[in-house]
Amino acid sequence: MKVLPQDQHNQILVSNLSPPEWINPEPAGRYNLVVVGAGTAGLVTAAGAAGLGAKVALVEKHLLGGDCLNYGCVPSKAVIRSSRCAEDIRTAESFGVRVPELITVDFPAVMERMRRLRSRLSFHDSANRFRDLGVDVFLGEARFTGRDSLETGGKTLYFSKAVIATGARAVELPIEGLREAGYLTCSHRRRPARLRACPGISKTWLQGDYHPFRRSSSWKGG
C-alpha cells in the first residue's frame, strides 16, 4: 500500500498501519466478536472487548486508524495549529511585540510537520500493538458469508457477534458541472487556491477559528 508522498514519515505510517510483511493469523475457532473496520470506533471496540477477556478478530482493508488518524482529526489539528501560529505572529504588535510586516508560511513544510506528527501517533493504532493486546488482526476486505461467518483473505472467521464499523466516505453531489470543475474532499492533501461557500456548508467551519485556510493569504507552496 502506498501513501503519497512516500517520504520517511509516510513509510513509518504504512509500516505501522498496514505492514507490507504482515501475515494474517490462522482463525482461532469461534470468536466472541469480529469487528469490521479499524477506525476509531472499531479500534476502541476491539481493544475494550479483548481487555474484558473476549476472543476478538479485527478486519481492515486499508489503514488502521481510519479517518481520524489518517485524514481527519490528527492532520486537521496539525494544520490548524500552524495557521494559529501564523495569526499570532501577525497580531503580535497588539501585544507589544514587533515583527517584520511580511509573514509567509511554507505550506509544504506545514504538511511535512503534519506527516511527522501523524507517523509518531500511528504506533498507538498499529497492527502490532493490537496483536499484543490480544486481538487477531486481519488485513484485507471482509465479506459476510453467513449469519455467523465472514471471509477475508481466503480465510473464514466464525463469530458469535459482529460489529460493522466501516465508517463512511465523501460522495459526489449531484451538481451540474461539479465533476468537470473538480472538487476536493477530506482525503485530498493540497492547499486550495481559493475557497467559496456553498449551500449546506457550515458558516462556522468557513469563517471560524477552526478553519486553517482562513488565515492563509500569505501562505506559499501547494
Q: What is the average pLDDT across 109-136? A: 98
Nearest to 134 by CA among 2, 28, 1: 28
Q: What does the pLDDT read at residue 173?
A: 87
More confident: 128 or 222? 128
**So where are the chain's domains?**
8-19+30-171
- Tell me the pTM: 0.85
In contact, 55 and 31? CB cutoff 8 Å:
yes
More confident: 138 or 186? 138
Q: What is the average pLDDT across 9-13? A: 98
pLDDT band at 213 (very low <50, low <70, confident <90, very high): low
pLDDT digits (tens, 9 = 90+) for 153-194: 999 999 999 999 999 888 888 999 988 988 877 666 566 666
Residue 144: other Cβ atoms inside 10 A: 13
Q: How far apart are CA 118 and CA 154, in angstroms?
A: 32
Position 207 pLDDT exceeds 50 = no
The dihedral sign for the CA sequence 38, 39, 41, 47: positive
pLDDT band at 208 (very low <50, low <70, confident <90, very high): very low
C-alpha cell at position 78: 496539525
pLDDT band at 203 (very low <50, low <70, confident <90, very high): very low
Position 19 pLDDT exceeds 80 = yes
In contact, 39 and 66? CB cutoff 8 Å:
yes
Q: How far apart are CA 173 and CA 101, in angstroms?
A: 42
What is the average pLDDT score of the chain?
88
C-alpha cell at position 213: 485556510
Q: What does the pLDDT read at residue 119?
A: 98
% of residues, the chain, pLDDT over 70: 83
Q: What is the average pLDDT across 8-12? A: 98
Structural domain 8-19+30-171, CATH architecture: 3-Layer(bba) Sandwich (3.50)
pLDDT digits (tens, 9 = 90+) for 51-104: 999 999 999 999 999 999 999 999 999 999 999 999 999 899 999 999 987 888
In contact, 44 and 152? CB cutoff 8 Å:
no
Q: How far apart are CA 66 and CA 17, in angstroms?
A: 10
Nearest to 25 by CA among 52, 53, 58: 58
Q: How far apart are CA 70 and CA 60, in angstroms?
A: 14
**Residues forming a β-bridge with 58:** 35, 137
